[in-house]
Amino acid sequence: MRDKQIVDRLTSSFAGVDSDGALHGRLAALAERQGLLDVSYRTVDSPLGLLLLAATGEGLVRVAFSLEGHDAVLARLASDISPRILRTPRRLDEAAQELDEYFAGKRRAFSVPVDLQLAHGFRRSVLEHLRRIPYGVTQSYATVARAAGNPSAVRAAASACSHNPLPLVVPCHRVVRSDGTTGEYLGGPQAKRALLAMESAA
């Protein structure tokens, strides 16, 4: 037998496959138990395409459209929060279900806990205000700026909306331009129009 055959036989003989993900699932559960899992994530299908959901121990920390590039979003979470990130669907089952219900028209408000640590200062005040805009209601950026405590910071309010780490759950899509046009959106202007149409039809 030639050396290469021996090496090939070694590699194929000892190969192990985690085909059903049992090993990965066990690793994630052990990591969570030992407090080593800082960020867990999963993806979920939606009428607006595949969504990435990420959570810390505090709550949902990021919702991302595929337009943002899920790999890039995870890389940012690794540098902004912690690189201890594992795909762990279980921790996000509730959020995934609430989003399903929302898109099915059966849910008007989200109750999963959120972690707003990715937004600071005025941006965070804006997000906190956005969470209080009810389903089917729209506000102008000027109204949001005033409600968040700085009436002259209309552009900053718009910027806070366009950098919202938790679109859909923190409903930045309910903020529109004073002239009635929809304005920008992380998931693209079409997604924003679709959400507003869905909510006003309900």
Q: Give the residue numbers annotated as catalytic, written as ranges.
A: 172
Q: In this complex, which beta carbon is closest to another protein, that of residue 115 or of residue 199?
A: 115
C-alpha distance from residue 177 to each of 19, 112, 139, 163 (Å): 50, 29, 8, 16
197 CA to centre of own chain: 22
Nearer to another protein, 93 or 184 (CB): 93
CB 99 within 8 A of CB 143: no
* CA distances for 105 relative to 92, 161, 180, 186, 187, angstroms: 20, 23, 24, 21, 19
Which residue intervals of the chain are DSSP H helices? Answer: 3-14, 22-33, 70-80, 93-103, 121-130, 141-147, 154-162, 189-201
Q: How far is the CB of 102 from another protein (least distance, A)?
A: 26
- Least separation, in Å, of the C-beta of 97 and another protein? 18
Q: Taking the complex as a whole, how short is the minimal distance between the CB of residue 88 and another protein, in angstroms?
A: 9
Closest to another protein by CB, 26 or 155: 26
Closest approach, Cβ 101 to another protein, in A, equals 24
SS3 112: coil
Choose among 116, 94, 91, 106: nearest CA to 170: 116
If the CB atoms of residues 6 and 109 are measured against another protein, the closer one turns out to be 6
92: tokens are: 């996000």
CB of 82 to another protein, least distance (A): 6
Residues that bind another protein (CB under 8 A): 1-3, 6-7, 9-20, 22-27, 29-34, 36-37, 39, 41, 74-75, 77-79, 82-87, 90
Q: Residue 29 or residue 198: which is nearer to another protein going by CB? A: 29
Residue 116: what are its φ and ψ, rounded to 5°? -95, 20
